[in-house]
């Protein structure tokens, strides 16, 4: 892994030096060495501290791109290096008008998964070591559960939109450059590099792995179902939620400045609360924990990329990401929609199709 990271860093340095781009958006190790933060940089010294493939997702990359571009186009060209789930969320945010990708070269890579943020915070050095030994092992046990069940870690068969993908699977430490857009091709030729022509090994191995992970996903989702199917089970699962809303605030898709579920609409008089308490003898206070989670689900499930940032952050260890993955998969299937697949594919809820109307009537 370390060799790979320094090779990528070398490439990115060249991109800066040759003025292929003006700046880079990359995870950089923070001064205390105990985490990574996204940094937009053009300074070589900062680039040395950057890690294009960090062991954790501290901040979801889509949030970083959105912070850079949600108020309009940048007046300089950048390239960024992201995990597939971060790139996919970025595409979704662009569709939601929360990011502008015109001047951004989105580079992705075959993702080995990420390690739990809490684990990293406790023992950064150990986790760094664990992660550095990960490359080449695409079915590792040390990664987060949501990563173990991820079937979109490589972009074989146009799995998701990216400008340039770097294939690693089945290539014995070699990188395969796979441009997917004109922007990607231009970036690559600016570096004097050619796109990989023989992708047979990568494709074969990738498809095998996807199949395995897809099965794993189904298996883990089935295991979780008893805890989430039906209102009683769901209430019990979310009973320990303390309403801190961290799942929402770290979610790349939940972009609203002010969440509906924290708005005046859901603030009531004492009588309203007492009437509800009267009905069942007593209520959890604040009530409506489940309403929040179900509501959030309704708002973002179609675009949920299963990045796991919510679950990583939850102080009560609720399996938020895994639960949301079940709903996300089902809703996305219903609309034949894959979040992050294509930038010009509209969000299903923003288009009207007459035949859908008929389905409802039947």
Partner 1 sequence: MGKLLEFKRPVEEGLKELLKTLLEGGKLKAVFTLTKKDDAVFYTLIKDAKKLEETTPLLPLMPVNAGKLLSRLTLKESLEEPIAVVIRPCELHAFVELIKREQGSLENFLFISMTCGGVLPIDNIAKNELDTKLNKYFESIKNVKVPDEVRPACKMCQNFLPYNADMVVDFWDKDINKTCRIFVNDTGEKYLNGLGFELKNTNQGLDYEEEKFKNLLALKKENEKKILESYKIEEWGMDGLVKIFGKCVGCHSCSRVCPICYCNLCEFDSDQYEYAPSTYSTELEKRGGVRVPPNTILFHLGRLTHVSISCVGCGMCEDVCPVDIPVSIIFSGISKEVQGLFNYTPGKDIKEDLPLSTFKEEELNEFEE
Report the alpha-carbon distance of residue 342 to residue 95 in Å, rounded: 10
Q: Which of 255, 268, 335, 337 binds partner 1 (CB under 8 A)?
A: 268
Q: Which of 15, 39, 62, 300 binds partner 1 (CB under 8 A)?
A: 39
* Beta strands at 176-179 and 78-82: parallel, antiparallel or unpaired: unpaired
Report whether 12 contacts 24 (CB < 8 A).
Answer: yes
What 311-315 contacts at long range (C-beta under 8 Å, 24+ apart), as own/partner pairs, is 311/144, 311/145, 311/146, 311/247, 312/57, 312/116, 312/117, 312/118, 312/144, 312/250, 313/117, 313/246, 313/247, 313/250, 314/246, 314/247, 315/242, 315/244, 315/246
The answer to whether residue 198 forms part of the interface with partner 1 (CB under 8 A) is: no
The answer to whether residue 277 forms part of the interface with partner 1 (CB under 8 A) is: yes
The answer to whether residue 17 forms part of the interface with partner 1 (CB under 8 A) is: no
The answer to whether residue 246 forms part of the interface with partner 1 (CB under 8 A) is: yes
How many residues of this chain interact with partner 1, rule: CB under 8 A? 70
Report the alpha-carbon distance of residue 293 to residue 41 in Å, rounded: 37
Q: By C-beta, is 87 or 155 nearer to partner 1?
A: 87
Please tell me whether residue 158 adopts helix, strand or coil conformation. helix
The answer to whether residue 76 forms part of the interface with partner 1 (CB under 8 A) is: yes
Name the minimum Å distance from CB 75 to partner 1. 5
Chain centroid to CA 145: 14
Q: By C-beta, is 214 or 276 nearer to partner 1?
A: 276
Q: Name residue 167's beta-bridge partners.
A: 176
The answer to whether residue 300 forms part of the interface with partner 1 (CB under 8 A) is: no
Residue recorded with tokens 């199917």: 229
The answer to whether residue 294 forms part of the interface with partner 1 (CB under 8 A) is: no
Name the minimum Å distance from CB 17 to partner 1. 15
Name the minimum Å distance from CB 307 to partner 1. 13
Chain centroid to CA 296: 16
Q: Which of 317, 354, 355, 359 binds partner 1 (CB under 8 A)?
A: 317
The answer to whether residue 352 forms part of the interface with partner 1 (CB under 8 A) is: no
Helix orientation angle between 231-238 and 289-300, rounded to the nearest 10 degrees = 100
Q: By C-beta, is 28 or 91 nearer to partner 1?
A: 28
**Region from 181-189, 194-202, 226-234, 266-274 binding partner 1, contact rule CB under 8 A:** 266-274
The contacts of residue 205 (CB under 8 Å, 6+ apart) are 169, 170
User: Binding string to partner 1 for residues 121 to 140, with x set by CB under 8 A, is what?
Assistant: xx------------------
Report the alpha-carbon distance of residue 293 to residue 248 in Å, rounded: 9
Name the minimum Å distance from CB 259 to partner 1. 10
The answer to whether residue 58 forms part of the interface with partner 1 (CB under 8 A) is: yes
The answer to whether residue 172 forms part of the interface with partner 1 (CB under 8 A) is: no
Report the alpha-carbon distance of residue 238 to residue 316 in Å, rounded: 10
The footprint of partner 1 (CB under 8 A) covers 23, 25, 28, 30-32, 34-35, 37-43, 45-46, 58-59, 63-64, 67-76, 117-118, 121-122, 236, 239-240, 242-246, 249-250, 257-258, 262-264, 267-271, 273-274, 277-278, 281-286, 312-313, 315-317
């Amino acid at each position: 892994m370390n060799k790979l990271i320094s090779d990528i860093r070398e490439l990115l340095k060249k991109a800066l030096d040759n003025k292929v781009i003006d700046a880079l958006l990359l995870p950089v190790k923070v001064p205390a060495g105990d985490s990574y933060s996204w940094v937009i940089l053009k300074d070589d010294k900062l680039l040395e501290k950057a890690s294009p493939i960090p062991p954790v997702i501290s901040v979801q990359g889509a949030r970083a791109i959105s912070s850079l571009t949600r108020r309009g186009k940048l007046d300089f060209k950048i390239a960024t290096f992201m995990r597939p789930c971060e790139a996919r969320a970025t595409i979704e945010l662009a569709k939601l008008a929360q990011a502008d990708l015109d001047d951004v070269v989105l580079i992705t890579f075959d993702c080995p998964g990420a390690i739990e943020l809490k684990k990293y915070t406790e023992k950064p050095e150990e986790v760094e070591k664990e992660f550095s030994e990960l490359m080449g092992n695409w079915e590792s046990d040390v990664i987060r559960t949501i990563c173990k069940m991820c079937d979109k870690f490589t972009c074989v068969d146009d799995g998701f939109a990216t400008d340039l993908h770097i294939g690693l699977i089945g290539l014995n430490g070699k990188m395969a450059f796979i441009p997917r857009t004109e922007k990607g091709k231009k970036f690559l030729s600016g570096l004097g590099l050619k796109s990989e022509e023989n992708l047979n090994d990568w494709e074969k191995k990738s498809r095998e792995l996807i199949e395995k992970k897809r099965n794993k996903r189904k298996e883990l989702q089935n295991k979780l179902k008893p805890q989430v199917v039906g209102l009683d089970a769901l209430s019990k699962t979310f009973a320990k939620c303390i309403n801190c809303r961290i799942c929402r605030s770290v979610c790349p898709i939940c972009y609203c400045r002010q969440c509906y579920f924290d708005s005046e609409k859901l603030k009531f008089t004492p009588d309203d609360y007492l009437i509800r308490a009267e009905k069942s003898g007593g209520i959890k206070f604040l009530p409506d924990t489940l309403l929040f989670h179900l509501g959030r689900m309704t708002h973002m499930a179609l675009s949920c990329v299963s990045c796991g940032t919510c679950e990583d952050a939850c102080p009560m260890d609720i399996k938020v990401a895994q639960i949301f993955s079940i709903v996300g998969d089902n809703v996305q299937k219903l609309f034949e929609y894959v979040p992050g697949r294509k930038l010009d594919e509209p969000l299903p809820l923003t288009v009207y199709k007459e035949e859908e109307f008929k389905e409802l009537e039947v």
